[in-house]
Each structure stands twice: as C-alpha cells, then as structure tokens.
Amino acid sequence: MFGGGEEHFAPPDEFDVDSLKRFGVLCGQLRHAEKPKQQLIEKMCADADAVGTSMAAKEIAAGAVIRHIKSWTGLKQLCGWYVLDKLAKDYPDTFRYLFGLQLLELGADHIPWEDPKLAPKYESLAEHWSCVFPGHIVDLIYKGRRERLWAAAHPDDVKKQKEEEEKPWAEEEPRRRWPRRVRPTLSRVSARKLLLGNGLHATAPTRP
C-alpha cells in the first residue's frame, strides 16, 4: 500500500524487446509522416495501442505523440493531433486519460490558431472535444484561442498593455536595489600615520 512516498522508490517498469521494437516503429512513422492521410493515421493509432498492454506502455506511446506535437509545426504537427484525437476517442480508459492530463498545455501552446490554412482543420477537430475531454479544459482552450486571435489582430494594443503591466515593476525595481558596498581605502599618508600611531614602522618593501 502506497501513500508515504514509497511509490517514488519503486523499480522502473520493464519493457520486453518486442514492445520496444513496436515503440520504435511508432516513432519512425510519426517522424516520417508529412501529411495527415486517413490510412496513415489509422495505422499509427493501431501501432500506438500495440506497443503494449500495460499502462506504462500506453504512457510511452502517448508520450511519443505528445513529443511529436511539441516538436513539429505545419502538417507534420497536424498529423500528431489527428493521432491524439483518434486514440482518445477509441481508447477512453487509457489514451483519453493520458492525453487529458496535458491537453490544456498542448491546446494553449501548440495549436496554430493564427494560421489561416490550418485553423479551420483544428476547429473541425476540436469542436467534438467537449464529448471526449472534460468540458472545463475545452472551454479554457477556446478561451485561449480567442485571446490569441485578438492579440494577433491588435499588436499595438498588446504592446501597450504589456508596457502598462510592466510599468509598476519598472518603478519598483530601483527601490529594491541596495547601494553597492564601498570598500574604504587609505591614502599613503593616512596609512603611515596609522602605522606610526600603533608603534609600527612603515618601511618600503625590499626586493629579494
């Protein structure tokens, strides 16, 4: 029974050679996917599920899809999103749960809503997510979409808003700076007087 941190010291999951080979096949297909074709998407989804039956195997397969989405742009990135969408719909007990943990971050940072060519494809893809993922996460993704589109259409307003937000911090920063400590220095005369006052003789150093 876990609960006191013992789970962090559990031995790592082990994967057999066949599972690792299937995982390598999935990664290779994702890497070489150029356009989101239906047959290719179905094949990658089948290969992702075939990596292994354990939850650990599902996690590394889902991680490969998420890494692909974060690493690529354009149509290659869209391939990863189609794979994520289909896996989440076809395997709710495993992949939907795993993708749901990171969907908000992915949707906020890795959907090119500003792209006029790809945005309609993402809108068509995401319009059914409320039936797949938690509704509040989907609502936050669409909220972020509206904010990004507004920012793209009003760059001057965004710049002005950012300057207004940073102005109080810019005014406060000088007050937080402590003055540099100045190390006191003695002139030769003052140093000689100090030495003589202590009963010492100031002599010039001799060269060896």
pLDDT of residue 3: 52
pTM of the model: 0.74
Handedness of CA 135, 141, 142, 144 (dihedral sign): positive
Q: Residue range 132-161: average pLDDT?
A: 92
Taking the CA atoms of 49, 50, 52 and 57 in sequence, report the sign of the dihedral they define: negative
For 122-151, what is the mean pLDDT?
Answer: 93
30-56 per-position pLDDT tens digit: 999 999 999 999 999 999 999 999 999
Looking at residues 88-111, what average pLDDT do you find? 95
**Whole-number Å distance between alpha carbons of 29 and 51:** 13
- Which pLDDT value is given to residue 1? 42
Model confidence at 118: pLDDT above 50: yes
Summarize the confidence of residues 115-121 as an average pLDDT. 95
- With contact defined as beta carbons under 8 Å apart, do 85 and 65 qualify? no
Contact 15, 52 (CB under 8 A): yes
Which pLDDT score, from 0 to 100, does residue 207 have?
A: 52
Say if CB 126 and CB 133 are below 8 A apart: no
The whole-chain average pLDDT of the chain stands at 85
pLDDT of residue 12: 61
Distances (CA, A) of 147 to 152, 153, 155, 173: 9, 10, 12, 29
Give the N- to C-terminal CA distance of the chain in Å, as an integer.
Answer: 76
Mean pLDDT across the stretch 103-113?
Answer: 94
